[in-house]
C-alpha cells in the first residue's frame, strides 16, 4: 500500500527539518549566536520618570496608522498591554519579552519600562529600525526566502526549549503563575479567546468536549473511531509566539531578523504555532503576503503538524458556539 500524499509531505518536511536542525546544532557550536549589541546598552529613556513617559506617550506619533504603538524617542516605542483579564497584575507581553531576552538569543525588543496605568500597562521597549519582512518579501529571491525560513525555524526551536514550569497553566505568562484568558487564531474567528484554564488537562478537556459536540451535531455513531481521536496533548506546553507573520518580523541592520508583537504569546502545545501561522497565511492582509511560497515554508518553519490541523478542522464548527 502506497503512502498518502499527506504522508509523503509529512515525511519530506520531517526529513528537511532533521537536516536543518542538525545544521543548526553545528552552526551554534561553531559560531554561537550573540545578542544584538543595541539591546544591552542603556536606553535613552532611562532618565525619565514614569509620569514623564506617560505624558510623552500621549502626543507621540504612531509607528503605524493601524497599530497602537507610538514612537516615544529615537530609540524607544510604547504600546498598551493587551491582556484580556481586567485585573491582570502584570502585562503578559512584557513577561514574555523578558523571558525571551534572558533565555534565548532571538532578537526581540528589550523591555525598558512597564508603567501602570488606570486600566492597563504601558510597555516601553526598544524601537527596531528597519522594514518589516512583508515589505521586503516580494524583492527576495527564493534562496533568500529559504534562508529566512531557516532562521525562523531556529528561532522557533529556541522558543520551544522554554517549557512551561511544572504546574503552570496554559496561556499567557503571569509573574504570579495564575491562569489567564487565552487568545489564539486556533480558537477560530467567532471568539478568538477562551479560558482561563487552570491546567493542561482542563485545556485539553475543553477541546475534547467541543469535538464531542461537533460529532454529535453530525450524528456520528458512538463507536466511530473518530470518537477516540482526541486533542493532542502528548507534548509539553512550550513558549509559542502565535502571531508569526511577515508583518511581525523586522529586517534590521545587516539583515538580522527581529521578532516583534508577542501579545498572543504563551505556553501552548507546539503544534499551535503551526496552526496559528497557517491560518493567518490564508488572509494576505493579516500575513503580509499572498505569496504561495510563504505557505510552502510554514510547515518547515513550525513543523508539519498536518494531523493536528486536520483534527482541529473537523471539530472547528463547535468552536463557533460560544
Residues 302 and 277 sit within 8 Å (Cβ to Cβ) = yes
**pLDDT in tens for each of the 322 residues of the chain?**
567 888 999 999 999 999 999 999 999 999 998 888 777 889 999 999 999 999 999 989 998 776 789 999 999 999 999 999 988 899 999 999 999 999 999 999 999 999 999 889 999 999 999 999 999 999 999 999 999 999 999 999 999 999 999 999 999 999 988 999 999 999 988 888 999 999 999 999 999 999 999 999 999 999 999 999 999 999 999 999 999 999 999 999 999 999 999 999 999 999 999 999 999 999 998 888 999 999 999 999 999 999 999 999 999 889 987 6
61 CB burial (10 A radius; 0-12, 13-18, 19+): exposed
Q: Quick check: bond before 196 cis, omega within 30?
A: yes
Instruction: Residue 250: name the closest of 135, 161, 164 by CA.
Output: 135
Instruction: Residue 45: name the closest of 61, 56, 36 by CA.
Output: 56
The domains located in the chain, with CATH, are 5-32+130-176+233-319 (1.10.510.10), 37-126 (3.30.200)
Distance CA 321, CA 57 (A): 39
Residues 113 and 165 sit within 8 Å (Cβ to Cβ) = no
pLDDT in the model for residue 2: 63
pLDDT in the model for residue 220: 92
Residues 186 and 275 sit within 8 Å (Cβ to Cβ) = yes
Interhelix angle 292-302/271-280, nearest 10 degrees: 170
For the chain, the straight-line distance linking the first and the last C-alpha, in angstroms and rounded, comes to 43
Give start and end residues of each alpha helix (H) in the chain. Answer: 5-30, 50-58, 92-103, 133-136, 142-160, 200-217, 271-280, 284-287, 292-302, 306-319
Amino acid at each position: 500500500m502506497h503512502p498518502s500524499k499527506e504522508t509523503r509531505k509529512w515525511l519530506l518536511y520531517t526529513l528537511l527539518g532533521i537536516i536543518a536542525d542538525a545544521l543548526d546544532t553545528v552552526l551554534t557550536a561553531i559560531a554561537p549566536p550573540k545578542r544584538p549589541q543595541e539591546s544591552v546598552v542603556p536606553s535613552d529613556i532611562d532618565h525619565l520618570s514614569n509620569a514623564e513617559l506617560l505624558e510623552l506617550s500621549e502626543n507621540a506619533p504612531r509607528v503605524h496608522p493601524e497599530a497602537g504603538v507610538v514612537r516615544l524617542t529615537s530609540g524607544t516605542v510604547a504600546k498598551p498591554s493587551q491582556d484580556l483579564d481586567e485585573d491582570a497584575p502584570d502585562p503578559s507581553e512584557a513577561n514574555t519579552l523578558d523571558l525571551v531576552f534572558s533565555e534565548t538569543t532571538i532578537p526581540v525588543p528589550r523591555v525598558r519600562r512597564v508603567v501602570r496605568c488606570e486600566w492597563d500597562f504601558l510597555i516601553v521597549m526598544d524601537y527596531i529600525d528597519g522594514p518589516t519582512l512583508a515589505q521586503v518579501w516580494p524583492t527576495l529571491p527564493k534562496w533568500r526566502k529559504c534562508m529566512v525560513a531557516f532562521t525562523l525555524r531556529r528561532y522557533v526551536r529556541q522558543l520551544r526549549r522554554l517549557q512551561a514550569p511544572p504546574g503552570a497553566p496554559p496561556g499567557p505568562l503571569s509573574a504570579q503563575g495564575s491562569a489567564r484568558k487565552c487568545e489564539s487564531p486556533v480558537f477560530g474567528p467567532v471568539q478568538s479567546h477562551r479560558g482561563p484554564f487552570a491546567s493542561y488537562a482542563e485545556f485539553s478537556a475543553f477541546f475534547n468536549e467541543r469535538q464531542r459536540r461537533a460529532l454529535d451535531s453530525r450524528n456520528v455513531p458512538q463507536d466511530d473511531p473518530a470518537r477516540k481521536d482526541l486533542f493532542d496533548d502528548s507534548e509539553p506546553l512550550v513558549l509559542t509566539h502565535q502571531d508569526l507573520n511577515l508583518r511581525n518580523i523586522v529586517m534590521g541592520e545587516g539583515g538580522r531578523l527581529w521578532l516583534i508583537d508577542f501579545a498572543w504569546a504563551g505556553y501552548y502545545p507546539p503544534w499551535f504555532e503551526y496552526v496559528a501561522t497557517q491560518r493567518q497565511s490564508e488572509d494576505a492582509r493579516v500575513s503580509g503576503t499572498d505569496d504561495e511560497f510563504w505557505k510552502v515554508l510554514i510547515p518547515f518553519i513550525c513543523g508539519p503538524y498536518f494531523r493536528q490541523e486536520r483534527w482541529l478542522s473537523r471539530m472547528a464548527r463547535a468552536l463557533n458556539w460560544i
